[in-house]
Chain A
Amino acid sequence: MTVPGTAREFRDAIRAGRLTAVDACTRALERIGRTDPALHAFQTVSADRALARAAAIDRGRAGLDRLPLAGVPIAIKDNICINGVTTTAGSRILEHFVPPYDATVVGRLEQAGAVIVGKTVCDEFAMGSSTENSAFGPTKNPWDPDRIPGGSSGGSAAAVAARMTPVALGSDTGGSIRQPAALCGVVGLKPTWGRVSRYGLIAFASSLDQIGPFATTVEDAALVLQAIAGPDPCDATAAAHGVPDYVTALPNEPAKALRGRKIGIPRRLLESGVDADVRAAFDAAVSQLEDLGATLVDVDLPHSRHAIAVYYLIATAEASSNLARYDGVRYGLRAPLGPDDDLISMYERTRAAGFGAEVKRRIMLGTYVLSAGYYDAYYLKGQQVRTLIRRDFDRAFESVDVVAVPTSPTTAFRFGERTEDPLQMYLADVFTVSAPLAGLPAISVPCGFGAGRLPVGLQLTGRPFDETTILGIAHAYERTAGWWKEEPPDLKVGPT
C-alpha cells in the first residue's frame, strides 16, 4: 500500500483498517525523531500522550466513520494551551508553564479524532517573522537549513513541510500562518476574525489574533478548519455565523471553480518592493488562474501601503496590555528577590528576566502609543486608518471575489539577516498585515519557486466568513499547478 501523505489519506487508511492510529502516530514520532534534530520544529514532543490517544481511537474502531480526522497526527503551535502539556509561547517567562485546561481548538481536534504529537517552536508570544525570537532557539527551513522558516508559526510550517505531521495549527496576527507557509512551501489559512475560538490561545493582539491550519493540500486545510470553526461559550468573539461544509464545497473540476470568477490584483501596491523571482512566480500563478477562466481585475487598495505602520501601532498597543498579566504572581517566572524587593520591583525584575528583546521592544512601543499625549496621534490615528484599509477592501469586493498578492515579498532569508534592524523584519509582513486589520480570511498556497529553489506563496484574500471561496480557488489552482507534490530535498538526518 502507498504510505499516506495527507491528513485525508491517513484518515481514509485508518478508517479502512489498512493502518492503525497507533501505527500512524508511531510513524509521525519516528519521522520527528529522525528529522527534527536538524530542524528544531518541535518545542515539545508528547509521545506518551499521543500514543495513548491513538490507542483509544483504535479501541473505538466502530465510531471511526464519525471522526473526520480519525487518527490524523497533528502538531500544535506552542502558544496554544494543552491541559498538562508544557506551553511556553516561546518565552522564558512561561518556560515551565503547564496549563490546567485545554484550548477550545485542542478539544475540538481531539473530538474529531486527531492525535496531537507535540508543540511547535514559535517566536516569543508570536512576535516575529522568522522564529529567531524564540527563547529556545529558532526552527530551520526544510528547503535550506541556513534560512529562516518564516514566523511566527515557523515550527508548524516546517513540521508540515518536512512531512513530520500532515497538518498543524498555528496562529496569525499579522501573517504568522501565511508567511511561514509561503516560505516553507505549504498551505496556510488564516480564517476570518471570529471564525475560530481563541479560548486557550495565549493572547498577543486580541483584535487581530486568529488560529488556523497548516497543511500540504488545501483539502486538508479545509478538513482542519471544519473541525475547529464555530461559536464557543468560552470566547465571546467567536461568531455565531453558520459553519458551511468547507470540504464538500471544494470544486471537483478546476475550470468550473474559476469560470466567471473575478480576481483582484492591486497592481500599484505591487509596483515596488517585490523581489523579481517572487514576482515571476506570482505572475505565472495569476495567468494560470486566468487560463482556467478567471478574469483579472485591477483593484486599488490605496491605504494598504500604510498597513505596516498601522499594524505595528495597534498590535503593540494591544500586546502591551495583554502582556501586563506576566507579573510573577499567578503563573510563570518570578525573578529571584532580595530582602529589599517590594511588589513593584518584583514585577519589574520578573519582566526584565522573562521577556526577550523583541517582546520588550513591542511592550515599550505599545505602552508609548497608548500613553497620555500620544494616544490620539498614534493609537487613535492607527485605528482610523485601519477603517480606511477595511473600506478599501469593501470597495474592492464590490467588483471582485478575491484579492491576490504574493504572500511574502521575498523568499526565505538567512538567519541573522534582519535581526539587527527591527523595522526591516517588520517589512517582511507587508502583504500579510492587511487581512487581519480588515478581519478578512486569507490563504497562502504554494505557487512555485524562486532563486535557489526556495518556495513562493500565492495569497488569496476573501470576504468575511467566505473561506469557501478562497479555499475553492486555492484548491483549483493547486490541483492544476501541482506544486503541492514538491517535497524539500532529503535532509541530512541521522540513521533510521
Chain B
Amino acid sequence: MSFTRADVERVAALARLALTDEEKDLFAHQLAHILQYADEVRGIDTSGVAPTAQALADAPQQRDDEPVPSLPRDRVIESAPEGAAGLFKVPRVLG
C-alpha cells in the first residue's frame, strides 16, 4: 500500500485541513503504514455478510413529537467566535 503526497493533498482537501509540508510527508508515510496493516481485512471472505453499522438490533427510541424549549439563543451565540444580531458571522462565501 502506498500513500503518496498527492493522496494526502486530495484527502486533506476533502477533510478541510490545511497541512504543512512536514505534515504531508509524515502522514503519507504513517498512513501507508497503517493502511498496510488494515489491508489484512481485505483478504477475509465476507461474501453474503451484512455490514454492521451499529452493534445492537434495538430500533432507535423515539420520543413524542412535542415542542420543548430549545437552548437560549443568546447563550448559544455567545459560544461563537463571531456572532452578531443573534446570528453566526462567517467570512465571505462568494468571491
Tell yes or no: B55 within 8 A of A by CB: yes
Flag if B53 contacts A309 (CB, 8 Å).
no
Residue A240 contacts which of B51, B58, B75 (CB distance < 8 angstroms)? B58
- Whether A320 lies near B15 (C-beta < 8 A) is yes
State the CA gap A240–B61 with chains docked (Å): 7
Let me know if A439 and B55 touch, CB within 8 A: yes
Q: Is A34 an interface residue (CB 8 A)?
A: no
Q: Which chain B residues (33-78) contact chain A, with CB distance < 8 Å?
A: 33-35, 37-38, 40-42, 44, 46, 49-56, 58, 60-63, 71-72, 75-76, 78
A403 at the interface (CB under 8 A from B): no
Q: Is the CB of B41 within 8 A of A385?
A: yes
Binds B, one of A272-280, A328-336, A443-451: A328-336
Contact indicator A383/B51 (Cβ below 8 Å) = yes
**Chain A proximity of B54: nearest CB distance (Å):** 4
Main secondary structure of the interface of A (DSSP, over half): helix
**Does chain B have a CB within 8 A of A399?**
no
Q: Which of B15, B16, B38, B50 contacts A313 (CB 8 A)?
A: B38
Using Cβ atoms and an 8 Å threshold, which residues of chain A touch B62?
236
Q: Which residue of B lies closest to A435 (CB)?
A: B55
Q: Which of B35, B38, B61, B82 is close to A231, meaning CB atoms less than 8 Å apart?
A: B61
Given contacts A207-B55, A239-B61, contact A334 B31 (CB under 8 A): no
Chain B at the A interface: SS class:
loop
- Which residue of chain B is the closest to A353 with respect to CB atoms? B18
CA of A235 to CA of B63, assembled, Å: 9
Query: Given the complex of chains A and B, what is the CA–CA distance between A368 and B81 in angstroms?
Result: 29
Is the interface on chain B under 10, 10 to 19, 20 to 34, or 35 or more residues? 35 or more
- Nearest Cβ in chain A — how far from B66, in angstroms? 10
Give a binary string over A311-333; 1 marks a CB under 8 Å from any B CB, 0 the rest: 01100000010001001111111
In Å, the complex CA distance between A97 and B76 comes to: 11
Cβ A388 vs Cβ B80 within 8 A: no
A328, B81: Cβ atoms under 8 Å? yes
Closest A residue by C-beta to B13 = A348
Distance of A358 from chain B, by nearest CB (Å): 10
Is A193's CB under 8 angstroms from B56's CB?
A: yes
Whether B27 pairs with A309 at a CB distance below 8 angstroms is no
A361 near B27 (CB under 8 angstroms)?
yes
Instruction: Give which listed residue, B30, B41, B52, contacts A390 with CB less than 8 A.
Output: B52
CA distance A312 to B37 in the complex (A): 10
Complex contact A383–B40 (CB within 8 A): no
Chain A nearest CB from B1 CB (Å) reads 11
- Evaluate contact between A388 and B46: CB separation under 8 angstroms: yes
The complex places the Cα of A341 from the Cα of B72 at a distance, in Å, of 31
- Provide the residues of chain A in CB contact with B12, threshold 8 Å: 364
Give A429 to B46 CA distance when docked, in angstroms: 24
Interface size on A, residues (CB 8 A): 77
Residues in A neighbouring B14, C-beta threshold 8 A: 367, 371
In the complex, chain A residues whose CB is within 8 Å of the CB of B90 = 329, 343, 346
Most buried by A among B40, B60, B79: B79
A233 lies within 8 A of chain B by Cβ: yes
Residue on A with the closest CB to B76? A100
Q: Please name all residues of chain A whose beta carbon is closer than 8 Å to the beta carbon of B7 when the two chains form the complex.
A: 368
- For window 276-312 of A, CB contacts with B under 8 Å fall at 303, 306, 308-310, 312
Do the beta carbons of B91 and A237 come within 8 Å of each other? Answer: no
Contacts of A114 in B (CB 8 A): none
Checking B16, B51, B92, B95 against A384 with a beta-carbon cut-off of 8 angstroms, the contacting residue is B51
Q: Render A386-414 as a binary contact track against B, CB cut-off 8 A, 1 for contact.
A: 11101000000000000000000000000
Given contacts A192-B56, A344-B16, A390-B55, contact A368 B11 (CB under 8 A): yes
27 pairs of residues in contact across A and B, judged by CB atoms under 8 Å: A101-B71, A192-B56, A193-B55, A207-B55, A236-B62, A238-B61, A240-B61, A306-B44, A308-B37, A309-B38, A329-B80, A330-B80, A330-B88, A334-B81, A337-B91, A352-B19, A355-B17, A361-B27, A365-B35, A368-B11, A383-B52, A384-B52, A387-B50, A387-B51, A438-B55, A439-B55, A439-B56
* A residues adjacent to B (C-beta < 8 A): 97-98, 100-101, 192-194, 207, 231, 233, 235-241, 303, 306, 308-310, 312-313, 320, 324, 327-334, 337, 341-349, 351-352, 355, 357, 360-361, 363-365, 367-368, 371, 377-378, 380-388, 390, 422-423, 426, 436-440, 464
Across the A-B interface, the 6 shortest Cβ-Cβ residue pairs = A439-B55, A383-B51, A334-B81, A384-B46, A331-B79, A236-B60
Interface of B toward A, CB cutoff 8 Å: 7-8, 10-12, 14-19, 23, 27, 30-31, 33-35, 37-38, 40-42, 44, 46, 49-56, 58, 60-63, 71-72, 75-76, 78-82, 88, 90-93, 95
With A239-B56, A386-B52, A387-B46 given, name 11 new contacts (CB 8 A): A233-B63, A239-B58, A240-B58, A313-B38, A332-B79, A346-B91, A357-B23, A361-B27, A383-B51, A387-B49, A439-B54
